[in-house]
Amino acid sequence: MASHCAADTCGAVALVAPTILRPILFVAAMAMALSACVRRARHAGLQPWLGAFPPLMLVGDQALLQYAGAGWAYPFSAGVLSINPPVYALFGTALIGLLGVPSRDALRGHGSSLLDRALLALAALLSIAAVVRAGGLPLFVFTALPLVALAVVMFESYATYAMPLFLALAAYRLWRTDRGALATPSPSPVVVSETPNLWRPGRAALVGPIVAFAVLLWTLLSTSLMPVPMVLMALAANLLPFYVPTFVIYTALVAAVLRLMARRDAIAATALFVALIPFGFWATSLSSVLMAKAHEREAIAAIPKVALPAKIDIVVIEGEEGSLINCARKSILSADYGVGDVLTHGRRRQSWGPYLRFTRATANSPVNKGVVADGAPAEYVLVRFPDRPPIFLDRVSVDISSPPVEIYAVGSAGTQLVAASYTALNQPPTFPPMLTTYGWYRGENSTTSEKSCKSVANFLQRELHDKPPPGRT
């Protein structure tokens, strides 16, 4: 038996390990390609940042490249076989080949400005198309800028037709450069004194990724319900959707701050203002959530309510979730509420089960080990867990970490609401801000039974014990 378990464990590790390592290997390969292309662009006389264009094209087919050479099992399970041909990867490979053609400083100060602008425009559009193809366009772009998002998506559909045009223009650019170099005698070298770069790109490229990784690691460790080893293993899968957008906004902020520290002028102030725009969107999102929470509390407070009766002999707990009923029962009987007994009434499949009586002596008994009771008395306090609060619309989801709870006073006057706890699923963005391809990160939409039970216990403590009505014993 132990050998079978060990074999199953080894098989599971062998199946999961390649899935975790492939994104890491892909990112490492992209980093090496990026470094080589940037050095080659600088060597040829281009701006170094232009060397990022060929590796970015490879990202457009990252889903296929990660599973290249893995046989048919991994691509089939990941749905890679249904992806279109790797035109972006082929285009990026052709660009890398073109980048290796010119000699040292051959492209420095040569060519037509109109042709260069056309190539830069096509490169920008193809870069956006590669990001969209890789699933890297944030969802809030579609909601905040629908016209821009529509134009980008439409261009991504026809981006493959722009690739041959770009290659033709780039080849013509190299041909004209070679002819100009042959016809023009080489000038005598002129010594030019280099001025310091106020933007400090090297330092920004070092500090920005470190800050972004620290934000990613801190946020996942503080919000995830998984153990720390599992969070560290999941970092590889979160590199593209979580780390890359966070890296962009924090690296831009670091570069702007370093520029402001080097020289306080209008350019530095403008750069800092532009770098802070994404964080302004984060503050707006946080403010809207806090305002929605305040309106939610006001709406719940406006619901007509009555006071608890002066004496509580019996508390009836009603609901469909056995864990919540058990949690409320233990909370009421374990605290000093002055309550006699607790009756639980749960739904079993399509019908309600019998009333079960619990006393303080049996407060910690299992949920189904109570004494069967004939029914509820004429007057009692009802704690109910509704399926869906009536205050919420159909499109509003309920926060499962704070389940809805209602307290009623049942007697000769009927069933009257005493207190209610309703929480809509509207999580604020986390701090420090972390941008993902889906928008601002708001934590996991999951919970544990302990967290839900703590929310119920706090509500009962606040409404049954901490605020007794006048005259209650």
Q: What is the pLDDT of residue 141?
A: 53
Euclidean distance between CA atoms 217 and 235, whole angstroms: 8
Cβ atoms 220, 238 nearer than 8 A: yes
Token pair listed for 311: 């004496």
Neighbour tally for 277: CB within 10 Å: 10
**Which is higher by pLDDT, 88 or 294?**
294
Residue 40 has pLDDT above 80, yes or no: yes
Q: β-strand 371-373 against 355-358: which pairing, if any?
A: antiparallel
Euclidean distance between CA atoms 348 and 365, whole angstroms: 19
Euclidean distance between CA atoms 14 and 174, whole angstroms: 48
**Which is higher by pLDDT, 26 or 363?**
363
Q: Which residues of 203-218 are buried (b: 16+ CB within 10 A; e: fewer)?
A: ebeebbbebbbebbee
When pLDDT is averaged across residues 388-411 and rounded to a whole number, the result is 79
Residue 269 has pLDDT above 60, yes or no: yes
When pLDDT is averaged across residues 251-271 and rounded to a whole number, the result is 90
When pLDDT is averaged across residues 402-428 and rounded to a whole number, the result is 87
Residue 371 has pLDDT above 60, yes or no: yes
Q: β-strand 314-319 against 380-384: which pairing, if any?
A: parallel
Residue 26 has pLDDT above 80, yes or no: no
Pick from 222-236, 241-255, 381-395 the range whose average pLDDT is largest. Answer: 241-255
Q: What angle do CA 289, 295, 300 make, to 5 degrees?
A: 125
Q: What is the pLDDT of residue 281?
A: 92
Angle, in degrees to the nearest 10, between helices 87-99 and 159-183: 10
Indicate the helix (H) or strand (E) that contains 116: helix 113-133
Q: How confident is the model at residue 156 (pLDDT cuts 50, 70, 90)?
A: low
State the pTM of this model. Answer: 0.58
When pLDDT is averaged across residues 459-464 and rounded to a whole number, the result is 84
How far from each other are the two terminal CA atoms of the chain, in whole angstroms?
Answer: 61
Residue 215 has pLDDT above 80, yes or no: yes
High-pLDDT (> 90) share of the chain, %:
10
Cβ atoms 388, 359 nearer than 8 A: no
Say if residue 389 is exposed, middle or buried (CB neighbours under 10 Å; 0-12, 13-18, 19+): middle
What radius of gyration do the chain's Cα atoms show?
32
When pLDDT is averaged across residues 72-101 and rounded to a whole number, the result is 69
Q: What is the pLDDT of residue 7?
A: 38
Q: What is the pLDDT of residue 133?
A: 75
Cβ atoms 473, 336 nearer than 8 A: no
Nearest-CA neighbor of 208 among 246, 236, 154, 164? 246
Residue 207 has pLDDT above 60, yes or no: yes
Cβ atoms 339, 412 nearer than 8 A: no
Q: What is the pLDDT of residue 88?
A: 82
Q: How confident is the model at residue 351 (pLDDT cuts 50, 70, 90)?
A: low
Q: What is the pLDDT of residue 192?
A: 45
> How far is CA 374 from its chain centroid?
51
High-pLDDT (> 70) share of the chain, %:
75
**Which is higher by pLDDT, 353 or 53?**
53
Q: What angle do CA 86, 123, 75 make, to 5 degrees?
A: 20
Q: What is the pLDDT of residue 4?
A: 40
Average pLDDT, the chain: 77
Q: Which residues of 327-341 are buried (b: 16+ CB within 10 A; e: fewer)?
A: bbbbbbbeeebebeb
Cβ atoms 443, 289 nearer than 8 A: no
pLDDT digits (tens, 9 = 90+) for 237-249: 777 788 888 998 9
Residue 299 has pLDDT above 80, yes or no: yes
